[in-house]
Structure 1
Amino acid sequence: MAVQHGIWKIGDSPQALPTIKIDNELLLEEQIFKDISILNSNWLLIGRQVFTDFGKYIDLLAIDASGSIIVVELKKHKTPRDVVAQAIDYAAWVETLPSERIVQIYKDYAERWNVSEKSFSEAFCAKFGVAPTEDDVNSSHQMVIVAAELDASTERIITYLNDKCSIGVNAVFFSVFQDGDNQYLSRAWMIDPAETEEHAVQVAQKQDWNGEFYGSFGASPDAYSWEDARKYGFICAGGGRWYSKTLFMLEPGNRVWVNIPKTGYVGVCEVLERVKPTDDFIHASMELDGSYKTIEEAGEDRADYFVPVRWIYDVPQSQAVNEIGLFGNQNSIARPRTPKWDYTVNRLKELWKV
Structure 2
Amino acid sequence: MKFRTFAAFVAPSVLMMLLFIAAPLVSVFWQSFHVTQPVYEQVEVETCTPGFLTQTCVTEIKTQPVLDENGEIRTTTRWVGLQSYRNVIEPDRAWAAIKSGSWKALNVIDFWKALRFTLMFTLVTLPLVIGTGLAIALVIENAAKAIRGPVIFISLLPFIITPVIGALSINWLFRGDGILTAGLEWWTGRDIAMFAQAWTIELIMMFYRVWHVAPFAGIIFYAGLQTVNRDSLESALIDGASRFDRLRYIIVPHLMPLIVFVAMIHLMDTYRVFEEIVGFRSQGHVISLQWLTYDFLTPNEAGTRSISRASASAMLTMIGIAILLVPLLRRTWRDHKGVR
TM-score normalised to structure 1 length: 0.24
Structure number having the greater strand percentage = 1
Q: Which fold has the larger relative contact order, with Cα–Cα distance below 8 Å and residues 6 or more apart in sequence?
A: 2
TM-score normalised to structure 2 length: 0.25
Structure number having the greater helix percentage = 2
